[in-house]
A and B are shown apart, each in its own frame.
Chain A
């Protein structure tokens, strides 16, 4: 494939899943029983043949750094390139970047140093499988300036979306920013491809003119050039833009087809913790659930995602719950539609219930 460098935004739109990002950035939200959200975009990059990835961080990135380490789990601990953390960079003001374009300015030095011809920029808050080298192939074929990846689905009333329309060949004809579009639309998934030199030029202009918005100040004016194209992402797309969406996307993994698609063909790499295999005892009953190594289940578990080292006591009934790692749930509890963040302990006899539209959320490290 054409030589490509990756840039991942790990902390854009942290606020829209505020419960989950209290103690971490978007990219390090635990997902699917063993992963962090960033694993999906990072694994996509590695599986596309990308070996240099810059990670733009903002605040609260301790958890992310702990997860990524040297990058060896993604084969990105390298002498040449590899995984490079790009913490906020500031030479003039002491204010942290507020948007994507300001964040990217912090990656200028990284991009200048990169020898790769192309750059893939992606957010880390979505679950999907995509071979970016295919996007670049189309990008080259179209002789495009920017190729934006979209997913077509029923869009509802979500106001923060960027929706666009294209001609048959993928050429973007119009863009709605903060669209309130209804019906099946092309939803930009915050992944785009450009030549590295093109992006650097854009950044230079933006810095010189004091521009701040990537979508309004860069993409919108560029449409006239006719060199902005769309690339269709087929298959599963789980956009984690709220607690509710987080809940739904986790539950989607209980569908065999989704599991096959996300985990089937290419590995999703992640940090490895050595936990013994899950134990399901004689008093347990487990149906339609994901259970990670390290769990000890003595109660009833139904339609749940159990992360590493979760203990479920005797007589306890968990239904439609997401229980993150190191949770200890006592005996005779009754939890329904609960999302319990890491390191929580719930004493025996507790009853908690939420609903699918509004799951009951328990903060990291709580004692209930």
Chain B
């Protein structure tokens, strides 16, 4: 029997995420915890299944252990399928030309055979470092209706930030006449979200061409998209409206977590139509008996201290007299009696000793200049000894 999939998604999850410092020492960026019980990759994976796309290749390269274990057979996202489903695609040894993934385009190129197994008409390219909810099916419908060869999702960004993004210059009908990667003087404020739909035959053709070009960086934004445009292929923009955040830096990661708080948050996860699925841990409900204000608390926590404007991940313990404020605790962290955590991101499995002080109150910490703009970062598995002080803006990746 002939079996095929209309659309296959390819999720680029190999990024090192070097601007997250200690948070990505041992894990790939898409596996970084977010919103108390999620990992970043939950968002694109859930978007796929919520958009009717059930075949997803996850391309991994950097520190894939946690990510592989987390994705597993895809069951939490209903992506465990007999035909299709989620597949981890890591670089492999070939008879000739064995190599790591050398750029986004090369990573996809090396997996052309995977895509061809499903004989797709369209290929959706995604990246694993954004927080958003999106219906890719609508974008696909627009791609098909326009008869496009490539459709790029984009959104308006503030003009002064436009030079950080790939910028689309478009005609009134949505067609793209120019694509500029991080332009110094942007002509438009339409930024590419790194989400592309290609007509499969065109994608394969331009990946082959790009592969043969020795001067290419093997990058979609820098090479493949401009090449298609120059060749006169039909390229359309697709406007996305809604919440979307690149969580590639410490400040944006903290901001995105804070965007979940409040009765009417900037980013709403209570949404029965577009549920974000995750590998939910088997923890009992949180026990709460302390001063908790404007915060998010995941299952398995035992909170007897104070938690203010914070996001507390699964299985954290906040002892009596401890205070956590304006911070993100990713999970399985113990904050002992009398300890204070302010304006910080604390990775999993951290122990903060009695009366230790981590960071400084937000108003003061904000004034600290440095890589993290005053946010204190504690890496995975760290122990902070009793009474120890960790200064605002410090990045800690070993016991102190």
A-to-B contact residues, CB < 8 Å: 32-34, 72, 253-254, 256, 259, 263, 267-270, 272-274, 276-282, 284, 286-294, 296, 298, 305-307
Contact = CB atoms under 8 A, between A and B. Distances in A.
B287 A277 contact: no
A267 B313 CA distance: 18
Contact of A291 (B269, B270, B297): B297
Contacts of B75: 72
B288 interface: yes
24 contacts: A32-B284, A32-B285, A259-B284, A263-B284, A272-B76, A272-B280, A272-B282, A276-B270, A276-B276, A277-B299, A277-B313, A278-B296, A279-B296, A280-B295, A280-B296, A281-B263, A281-B293, A282-B293, A284-B292, A284-B293, A289-B287, A291-B285, A291-B286, A291-B287
Given A282-B294, A290-B284, A274 B276 contact: yes
A287 B289 contact: yes
B286 A292 contact: yes
B72 to A, nearest CB: 12
Contacts of B276: 274, 276
A293 B294 contact: no
A232 to B, nearest CB: 26
Contacts of A273: 280
A270 B302 CA distance: 20
Contact of B299 (A253, A279, A282, A292): A292
A296 B298 contact: no
Interface in B264-312: 269-270, 275-278, 280, 282-290, 292-299, 302, 311-312
B336 interface: no
Contacts of B297: 277-280, 291
B286 A274 contact: no
Contact of B285 (A33, A272, A284): A33
A289 B289 contact: yes
A276 B284 contact: no
Q: Which 10 A-B pairs have the closest CB atoms?
A: A33-B285, A276-B269, A292-B285, A277-B36, A277-B298, A290-B285, A282-B294, A286-B288, A288-B289, A263-B284
A278 B287 contact: no
A136 to B, nearest CB: 26
Interface centre among B75, B286, B311 (most CB of A within 10 A): B286
Contacts of B354: none
Contact of A293 (B260, B293, B299): B299
